[in-house]
Amino acid sequence: MVLNWKSGGVLLGLVFFAAVLLVKPIGVSTQFVILDAIIADAANPGLITATDEGFTSTNAYLAKSGGVYAKNAMNPLNYSFVFVLAMALGAFASAMARGGVGREERRLPAIWYANYGDTPWKRYGMAFLGGFIVLYGARLAGGCTSGHMMSGMMQTAVSGYVFAAGAFAAAVPVAIMMYQREG
């Protein structure tokens, strides 16, 4: 069972508040770039190079803003990267504490089963494709649901509202078309 929206909403709000009170607003999607950069630099040394001021890269995206992404990829034990790893740990502990996600759900979510039957590989293909579009879009936008929508709108950032308008304008019709049965 999920938390009632009142207690769940207040708890989630407190986490976002604690983040900005103690450090900075929450964001996630940049860390996909950092992990990519770590992998790419391991496969292709020379992608990221040290400079007098810090780091730079032959990739323009990693080199932008004074090479901050290149620097974070070379020092993965930084706040934002560890934050995302800790999120995974927190979610794992929380799921275990409530008995874990059922075996069938882990294999195939009920909403997919209700609409497309027992087709796990189609589901995995859709999840892969979805992941590609989500992260491409998030990097183009400069943030995701956490960084733009939640952290952005809580700070009255215009970018947050622009992002949320785009995200829901696309997500609602796609969800209505794809998931007609409620499961």
Site size toward other proteins (CB under 8 A) is 126
Residues numbered 95 to 154 that lie near other proteins (CB under 8 A) are: 95, 98, 100-102, 105-112, 120, 123-148, 150-154
Residues numbered 152 to 181 that lie near other proteins (CB under 8 A) are: 152-160, 162-172, 174-176, 178-180
CB of 54 to other proteins, least distance (A): 18
Pairing label, strands 55-57, 48-50: antiparallel
Separation of alpha carbons 27 and 151, rounded Å: 8
- Our CB check for other proteins shows the closer of 21 and 46 to be 21
Separation of alpha carbons 10 and 141, rounded Å: 27
Residues 6+ apart with CB under 8 A from 24: 79
- Our CB check for other proteins shows the closer of 56 and 137 to be 137
- Our CB check for other proteins shows the closer of 46 and 52 to be 46
Exposed, middle or buried, 73 (CB in 10 Å: 0-12/13-18/19+)? buried
- Our CB check for other proteins shows the closer of 54 and 136 to be 136
- Secondary structure of residue 178 in the 3-state scheme: helix
- CA of 143: how far to CAs of 24, 135, 147, 175, 179, in Å? 14, 9, 5, 21, 26
- Our CB check for other proteins shows the closer of 50 and 86 to be 86
Told to check if 19 binds other proteins by CB under 8 A, we report yes
Build a one-symbol-per-residue string for 27-56: x at contacts with other proteins by CB under 8 A, - elsewhere: -xx-xxx-xxx-xx----------------
